[in-house]
Structure 1
Amino acid sequence: MRIDITGDAAHFLADAESFLRQDPLRHTVIATAVANELGGRAGAAATRFLTVREDTGRVAGVATSAFGGRIYLGELPAHSVAAVADAFLAAGPPPTSVEGVRADAETFGREWAARTGGSSAESYSARLFRLGTLIVPEAAGKPRLATVDDLPICRDFIDAFCVEIGEPRPFDEEAARRRIDAGFWWLWEHEGVPAAFVARQSETLGWARIGPVYTPPQLRGNGFASALTATVSQVVRAEGTDVCLFTDLANPTSNKIYQAIGYEPVRDFVHYTLTPAG
């Protein structure tokens, strides 16, 4: 077994594309990271891509590290997870969290804690959904594409979303402008005021992911996010692309509304926070 880590998205894709295509929905996060790096939309993500190779040289597993040590585990051979933890520790930056299917994330967290003296604690669970039969609900107001004039409100919405999920991230204005220019950011406008935000990711390997989705707390319960998510999903599907999204399993409202517009559960993932010793 050999493990390689690179910051070159094109190099990673050349090596791992065949593996990713075996289950592109499972690897939507990693494939999207590649697309954003290649399309200049990654901003401060600074993603590093990992491949696990068998002795024959065939890629058998993938993972990423982004935003200063947030580890995302794709499909991995079970026996490789400890070595993947070692590789990320050696390459840096130091892991700060890990997300993956429960068995892999637990193993990574346990191995990381054993090597560093730190602690690993589950922080949330996420569920991956794929779009089935789309239902577009009605809501007061209308959808529209965001423009560069909307950058301040989009930044406010994204910053609030990141704080709410406990993962604040730096806002990169140049990357944001590129996403707006690509038609990836949408707003729901009610009485002339933006009331909800929905982003879509670029199509890659036949899939495009919806997210983040955000409505300010005082405007929730009006169906704005449901209607906008359905609208954006419809746009993506009209391009001939399959659509997916993630929800927080601890939020029954979001899980309910996405299923109400046609999303079907696929797989669950667990996120662990990694706290250094001392």
Structure 2
Amino acid sequence: MRIDITTDAARFLADVAPFLHGDPLRHTVIATALVNRINGRSGGMVTQFASVRDDADTVVGLAQCTNGAAYLGEMPAQSISAVADAFRAHDIALRSVEGDDADAVAFAAHWSKTVGGTYREKFSVRLFRLGTLQMPDAPGTPRQAGLDDVAVCIAMTEEFGVEADVPHRLDETAVRRRIEAGSSWLWEHDGQPVTLVARHEAVLGWARIGPVYTPPRFRGNGFASALTATVAGRIRAEGADACLFTDLANPTSNKIYQRIGFEPVRDFVHYTLTA
């Protein structure tokens, strides 16, 4: 077994494409990170991509680490500790790990034992895929964000990151490129943007939606539901399928997404790592 780590997203994508084809929905986070890095839409985020290869040099597992946050794809159970050791050998200062619960806790336990640190569960998320789309009503209209909306898109993305305690390091260039790619949408009410819904480029048939953010003063009006449904419908019209993640501690978001047709797929757990 061999663990290869690289920051060359284009080369990595070419090497692991056959493995990604096996379950592209499961690996939507890694696939999206690869395409965003290749297209210059990652901003200040630095990602190391890891592949697990068996004795025949076949890719049998994937992982990545963005700004110290490790994310585990499918991989053999016996490779988890080796991936943790490989990240550490590359002097990557890990602060968290997310993945299937059994894999994530095994990674966190090995890392903590190795460095003498601790770990604790921070949150759980659920992956959803779009089933039969239901379009809700809400006052206002959707529109694609334009370059005049760079400031409002940055502000809402940063507000989402603070509220969700998930730092987003998108600089103005990255936001502009995402807007130019048509990936940022706004719901407008009374001439004012009240909700942001971002989407990612479709990769292997799947386009992930997120973040979705409505400032607190505009909530309770159905803006996020309506705009998410609009964006999901656009993805379907392009011939791809839509998916998204929700925080399991947020019952509101879990309900509204299921109400517009999203169906649960699987859960993932996020652990913080403390040296």
1:112 equivalent in structure 2: 111
TM-superposition CA deviations, 1:126-150 (whole Å, max 9, x none): 0000000000101000001111111
**Is the 2:45–2:170 Cα contact (8 Å) retained in structure 1?**
no
**Is the 2:70–2:97 Cα contact (8 Å) retained in structure 1?**
yes
Equivalent position amino acid for 1:225 in 2: A
Cα distance in 1, alignment partners of residues 116 and 147 from structure 2: 46
1:239 equivalent in structure 2: 238
1:17 equivalent in structure 2: 17
Report matched runs for 1:122-271 at 5 Å: 122-271=121-270
**Is the 1:184–1:201 Cα contact (8 Å) retained in structure 2?**
yes
User: How many residue pairs get matched?
Assistant: 275
Normalised TM-score (structure 1): 0.98
Cα distance in 2, alignment partners of residues 5 and 16 from structure 1: 12
* Stretches of structure 2 lacking an aligned partner (at least 5 in a row): none
Cα distance in 1, alignment partners of residues 122 and 146 from structure 2: 35
Cα distance in 2, alignment partners of residues 245 and 60 from structure 1: 25
Structure 1 runs of 4+ with >4 Å offset: none
- SS of the residue corresponding to residue 176 of structure 1 reads helix
Percentage of pairs with the same residue: 61
- SS of the residue corresponding to residue 97 of structure 2 reads strand
Equivalent position amino acid for 1:201 in 2: H
Q: CA deviation at 1:154?
A: 1.0
1:103 equivalent in structure 2: 102
TM-superposition CA deviations, 1:224-247 (whole Å, max 9, x none): 000000000000110000110000
* Stretches of structure 1 lacking an aligned partner (at least 5 in a row): none
Normalised TM-score (structure 2): 0.99
Q: CA deviation at 1:90?
A: 1.0
**Which range moved further: 152-161 or 239-248?**
152-161
- SS of the residue corresponding to residue 140 of structure 1 reads coil
**Is the 1:69–1:92 Cα contact (8 Å) retained in structure 2?**
no
TM-superposition CA deviations, 1:188-227 (whole Å, max 9, x none): 0010011000000001111000000000111111000000
Report matched runs for 1:42-53 at 5 Å: 42-53=42-53
Q: What's the RMSD between the two structures over aligned residues? A: 0.7
